[in-house]
Structure 1
Amino acid sequence: MRDLGVGFGFLLQGQKWVGRHGRWFGFGLLPGLVTLVLYAGALVGLGYGADDLTAWATPFADDWTSPWLGIFRGTLTALVFAFGLFLAVITFTAVTLLVGQPFYESLSEEVDRSEGGDVPESGLPLWRELWISARDSLRVLLRVACYGILLFACGFIPVIGQTVVPAVGFCVSGFFLAEELTAVAFQRRGVELKERLVLLRGRRMAVLGFGVPLTLAFLVPFVAVFLMPGAVAGATLMARELGGETAGGDRDDDSGENDHPGGNLPSSGGDQGVHHLPH
């Protein structure tokens, strides 16, 4: 259970990092604002059309008497919207990261630089990085969709569907949200999706401690946009620990200057030639 606090600590450290580096915070807001407008429109449309969609999908219930028809379709409409919201939380990060790939990669590099030592870079052209990011996001989305369909079906189970299933849904969302965010740092290190998932499962509680609170926060309108820069920074810090990296290679461990929730994170050598946008 201690790892839950460690994961949440990375989330807080990321927000503190962008708070201390204001220009990077503003820089990281841009992709989220663009994506937010797109998703807000989609969710509003779903909210208006969920009743019609439910009625179209359940013609067999047209002759049911009141109140059973209203209860059945009302519950189903709520589940449809909840499922849409569930997918929105997961895909929002993926789409925002895809739209803002150069922005967030530069932010992640700056976090690595501030921790001292090497600043990994993929060495791939931008189009190749976008392709890998889109491909991996699609693979993650397919996994999430499978979980979502299963949880959607379990939502009809009395009591469990209204208590356990939403809790499990938030855990699933949190895990894959953390995967998408850490992918920014891991991709620069050449870590493939399968290996990333192995690393994340090895510290599952820390990943949930990072991802679940963020998932809950992302449900509040506009919050996702403002938390994204810090979330990318915190995910970079967590990726460093999951990958066995440490901060400030020559830093004295007894200096008390380490601000990582997961302990000292030193690295080796000086900065490599890196590209970063806002200076």
Structure 2
Amino acid sequence: MRDLGAGFGHLLKGQRWVARHGRSYGFGLLPGLITLVLYAAALVGLALWGSDFVAWATPFADDWSSPWPGLFRGFLTAVLFALALLLAVLTFTAVTLLVGQPFYESLSERVDRDVSPDGTAPESNLPLLRELWISGRDSLRILVRAAGWGVLLFALGFIPIVGQTVVPVIGFFVTGFFLTEELASVALQRRGVELRDRLALLRSRKRLVWGFGTPLGVAFLVPFVAVFLMPGAVAGATLLARELLGEETRDGDDDRSEGGSTDPAVSSGPASAY
């Protein structure tokens, strides 16, 4: 239980950190807004033409007596939209991180400098295109894993009672795990931690990961919330990554960078993207 509380605590600390750093928060909103527009358009399209697609995909139901074709296709349309919504939640973070790689990389570095006892942050020293390639490649691998879980949970959802009670709960924990991996990858990739090692690291502290990612995944189901929580989620995942790696972290409430040389508008390196 303590790890669950600690994970949730990192999520709250990340939101408080960006609340104290308005400029970082403002720039961190841009990638989420871009991704939200793309996802909203896709979901609206599915809502408008999903029933037509289901009717096209189930011609065998045309000969059924009324009202069974309508009930059957209505059920499949609802399931299709629910699955699309689940995939949207699972992939929103990955796509937003890919779109906003320079912004979130800079934000994560600033968090590291703020809470590090010596005021330094690990740097990958990789070209931006190389970082984007690694991030996209790893995100695709995670998406395949998440999609596999999604298909499994979708199938289990047809089990009476269990499918309507236990399976959704498991789904939230699975979503929380993969969300945390995507968010923590910003800080862990900068430290040279490969995907396989990241997954092993997260599995070693599952309760900590669930405490961070599960409530975030639930919150992401609320329209527009994901956009506003993303900057703080990246900040909190950086704090979580430091704990996973056993790095010493000081209390960042006494922000020494406020108005100082670590302001992204004047600092060097990736922060210059601001």
- Per the normalisation by structure 1, the TM-score is 0.88
Match for residue 249 of structure 2? 247
Q: Which residue does the alignment assign to 1:149?
A: 151
Structure 2 CA distance, aligned partners of 1:123 and 1:210? 28
1:21, 1:29 → 2: CA distance?
A: 13
Structure-2 residue corresponding to 1:276: 271
Counterparts of residues 1-279 of structure 1 (less than 5 Å) = 1-116=1-116, 117=118, 118-248=120-250, 274-277=269-272
How far residue 235 of structure 1 moved from its aligned partner, in angstroms, is: 0.3
Farther-moved stretch of structure 1 (28-37 vs 163-172): 163-172
Q: Deviations over 1:146-167 (max 9, x none)?
A: 1111112222222222222222
Q: Note the residue ranges of structure 1 that are not aligned, 5 or more in a row.
A: 249-256, 260-270
Q: Secondary structure at the match of 1:91?
A: helix
Q: Secondary structure at the match of 2:270?
A: coil
**Contact map agreement 1:177 1:211 (CA 8 A) in 2:** yes
Residues in 2 aligned to 1:278 and 1:230: alpha-carbon distance in whole angstroms = 18
Q: Aligned residue pairs: how many?
A: 260
Q: Per-residue deviation at 1:258?
A: 7.0
Contact 1:108 1:232 in 2 (8 A): yes
Whole-Å separation in 2 of the counterparts to 1:172 and 1:68: 34
Instruction: Please report how far the alpha carbon of residue 169 of structure 1 lies from its aligned counterpart in structure 2 after TM superposition.
Output: 1.5
Give yes or no for contact 2:179–2:213 (8 Å, CA) kept in 1.
Answer: yes
Per-residue deviation, 1:171: 1.4
Distance 1:4 1:66 in 2: 50
Which amino acid in 2 is paired with 1:69?
P
Q: Equivalents in 2 of 1:238, 1:146: separation in Å?
A: 26
TM, length-normalised to structure 2: 0.90
Give the 3 Å change call, closer, same or farther, for CA 50–162 of structure 1 in structure 2: farther
- The 2-side partners of 1:165 and 1:60 are apart by 30
Tell me if structure 2 keeps the 8 A contact 1:120–1:189: yes
Specify the SS of the correspondent of 1:62: helix
The SS at the match of 2:223 is: coil
Question: Are the counterparts in 2 of residues 174 and 212 from structure 1 also a CA contact under 8 Å?
Answer: yes
Q: Which amino acid aligns with 1:163?
A: T
Q: Is the 8 A contact 2:114 2:252 kept in 1?
A: no
Contact 2:105–2:270 (8 Å) recurs in 1:
no
**Once structures 1 and 2 are overlaid, which stretch shifts more, 106-115 or 220-229?**
220-229
> Residues 156 and 59 (structure 1 numbering): CA distance in 2 closer, same or farther, change over 3 Å?
farther
Sequence identity percentage? 69
